[in-house]
């Protein structure tokens, strides 16, 4: 019965899911119409007053996420460059070598991807896909689309891990909405016992759920491992044949100075934060995470020249982000466009869930609301900008601490990424698959993780 349901999901997705960019365009049209209905704002305005088209294309819409887009692109690029280094590839091959059958292939790939995504989402996306390519070379009988879906499924806990943008925004001075600052320590968000328990349940059970979806032998989609062989290693001139410029590029002195300087600053940064009373966990933000992966990549590649080439190869993984982020920023602009009464499409959705909540169910319903909104604004920063001003004050009025409300938004933001092709683009580019190849399996992951999250937030409200 379970396999029949899974197969039905795969068939529907293969038939109806468009390309990821077209998906963004369709969502743009849907939100445009929804915003018109919810706000009754004009389509176009020539006198400078708010209109839906202005909300889509102005600086608070289409171009509002440029800084955040750069941060996200760097997470993908720096994480990918580090993962493609020689030492990291050896680690991946060693992990893949323990897989000898289909079950081990799916379980190991899921577990490694989930752990890596919890540590850093960009790194986890890339490592999961690279590991899957190594695994299929050793277990060619495994269903390849399911294997890649398993590699991506770990992304379902990225936002409640160490690189989660929403919980990190609450550290230190926190985030201000209106005149109120909302703050929460890492111990109240990422390292809260309930959050860790939910992550542990997913880490233990999701690999088994993924394997349970494996098709029968007759319906398994395999791939010739020869098609997944790595590109030949780039050949560099021998030391004696290098020009003066090339000698500088391969200089161990310049390479060592660079990574030592970077790690020295990182260590000093954490020491300074510690003297201010800020814990290591609370000191993490997207900038310092990117800095760690930047200099780790330089260290692992062994020379500046090799790292420059690795960055050039990794940059293509950010292409989808660069193209689609402006459109999702435009969607966000329309979602938050307000009429004279302060009504927006996002507020209509969020306030509906608030209206049916109490102090026990509010976090769970916030999670569900965030899942709906994330479908249209698949960006942690965008999600926070859309829902933070509504959900954080509402949670405070119900006596719910800022950390719990923020984590409900974060869980919802990552949850529907399973059926939103935007963030799967880097992994799919590495795997040479399309979104429709894997999304049918990810519908099952969505259902499973949704149940875990709903039960978890109910327990958080009842016993903590």
What are the extents of the domains in the chain? Answer: 2-229+239-463
Q: Decide: 191 and 118 in contact? Cβ < 8 Å.
A: no
Confidence of residue 3 (pLDDT cuts 50, 70, 90): confident
Q: Answer yes or no: is pLDDT of 279 > 70.
A: no
Is the pLDDT at 15 greater than 90, yes or no?
A: no
Of the ranges 87-91, 268-272, 316-320, which is most confident?
Answer: 268-272
More confident residue, 158 or 283: 158
Residue 281 has pLDDT above 60, yes or no: no
**Confidence at 197, pLDDT banded by 50, 70, 90:** very high
* Dihedral sign for Cα atoms in the order 291, 297, 303, 304: negative
| Residue 454 confidence class, pLDDT cut points 50, 70, 90 | very high
Confidence band (pLDDT; 50, 70, 90) for 105? very high
- pLDDT value at residue 230: 61
The answer, yes or no, to whether residue 155 has pLDDT greater than 80, is yes
The DSSP secondary structure of 162-179, one letter per residue, reads TT-HHHHHTSTT-EEETT
Residue 141 has pLDDT above 90, yes or no: yes
Give the pLDDT confidence of 200-247 residue by residue, as tens digits: 999 999 999 999 999 988 888 888 766 666 666 677 777 777 788 888
* Helix residue ranges per DSSP H, 284-424: 286-301, 304-314, 319-336, 345-355, 362-374, 380-397, 402-415
Helix (H) and strand (E) counts in the chain: 22, 2
Greatest mean pLDDT among 140-149, 224-233, 343-352: 140-149
Q: How confident is the model at residue 278 (pLDDT cuts 50, 70, 90)?
A: low
CA distance 424 to 442: 11
Non-local CB neighbours of 326 within 8 Å, separated by 6+ positions = 62, 63, 65, 69
Q: CB under 8 Å to 209, separation ≥6 — which residues?
A: 444, 445, 448
Q: For residues 10 and 447, give the distance between their C-alpha atoms in angstroms, rounded to a whole number.
A: 14
> Across 82-86, 410-414, 420-424, which has the greatest mean pLDDT?
410-414
d(CA 289, CA 79): 10
Tell me phi and psi for residue 169, to 5 degrees.
Answer: -70, -20
Return the closest-CA partner of residue 135 out of 122, 146, 124: 146
pLDDT of residue 346: 79
Q: Tokens representing 316?
A: 């293509």
> Does residue 160 or residue 385 have the better pLDDT?
160
First CA to last CA across the chain, in angstroms?
37
Quote the CA–CA distance of 39 and 344 in Å, as a whole number.
6
Question: Torsion-angle region of residue 297: left (phi > 0), alpha (psi -120 to 50) or beta?
Answer: alpha
Per-chain mean pLDDT for the chain = 85
The whole-angstrom distance between residue 2's C-alpha and the CA centroid of its chain comes to: 28
């Amino acid at each position: 019965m379970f396999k029949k349901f899974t197969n039905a999901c795969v068939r529907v997705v293969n038939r109806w899911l468009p390309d990821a960019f077209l998906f963004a365009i369709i969502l743009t049209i849907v939100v445009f119409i929804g915003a018109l209905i919810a706000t009754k704002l004009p389509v176009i305005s020539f006198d400078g007053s708010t209109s839906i088209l202005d909300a889509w294309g102005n600086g608070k819409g289409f171009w509002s996420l440029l800084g955040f887009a750069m941060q996200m692109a760097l997470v993908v690029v720096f994480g990918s460059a580090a993962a493609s280094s020689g030492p990291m590839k050896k680690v991946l091959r060693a992990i893949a070598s323990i897989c000898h059958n289909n079950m081990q292939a799916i379980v190991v790939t899921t577990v490694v991807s989930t752990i890596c995504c919890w540590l850093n989402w960009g790194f986890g996306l890339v490592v999961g896909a690279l590991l899957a390519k190594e695994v299929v070379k050793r277990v060619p009988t495994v269903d390849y689309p399911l294997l890649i879906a398993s590699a991506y499924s770990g992304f379902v806990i990225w936002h409640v891990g160490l690189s989660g943008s929403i919980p990190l925004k609450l550290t230190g001075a926190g985030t201000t909405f209106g005149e109120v600052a909302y703050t929460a320590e890492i111990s109240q968000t990422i390292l809260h016992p309930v959050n860790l328990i939910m992550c542990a349940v997913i880490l233990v059970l999701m690999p088994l759920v993924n394997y349970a979806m494996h098709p029968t032998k007759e319906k398994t989609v395999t791939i010739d491992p020869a098609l997944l062989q790595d590109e030949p290693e780039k050949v560099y001139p021998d030391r004696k044949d290098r020009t003066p410029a090339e000698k500088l590029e391969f200089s161990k002195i310049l390479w060592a100075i660079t990574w030592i300087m970077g790690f020295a600053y990182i260590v000093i940064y954490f020491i300074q934060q510690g003297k201010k009373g800020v814990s290591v966990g609370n000191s993490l933000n997207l900038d310092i995470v990117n800095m760690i992966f930047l200099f780790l990549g330089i260290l692992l590649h062994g020379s500046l020249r090799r790292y420059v080439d690795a960055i050039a190869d990794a940059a293509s993984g950010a292409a989808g982000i660069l193209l689609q982020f402006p459109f999702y920023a435009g969607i966000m602009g329309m979602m938050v466009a307000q009429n004279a009464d302060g009504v927006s499409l996002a507020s209509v959705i969020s306030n509906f869930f608030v209206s049916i909540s109490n102090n026990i169910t509010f976090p769970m319903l916030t999670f569900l609301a965030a899942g709906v909104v994330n479908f249209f604004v698949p960006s942690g920063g965008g999600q926070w900008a859309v829902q933070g001003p509504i959900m954080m004050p509402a949670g405070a009025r119900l006596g719910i601490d800022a950390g719990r409300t923020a984590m409900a938004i974060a869980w919802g933001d990552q949850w529907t990424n399973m059926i939103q092709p935007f963030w799967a683009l880097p992994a799919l580019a590495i795997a040479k698959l399309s979104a429709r190849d894997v999304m049918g399996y990810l519908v099952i992951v969505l259902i499973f993780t949704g149940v875990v999250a709903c039960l978890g937030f109910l327990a958080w409200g009842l016993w903590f």
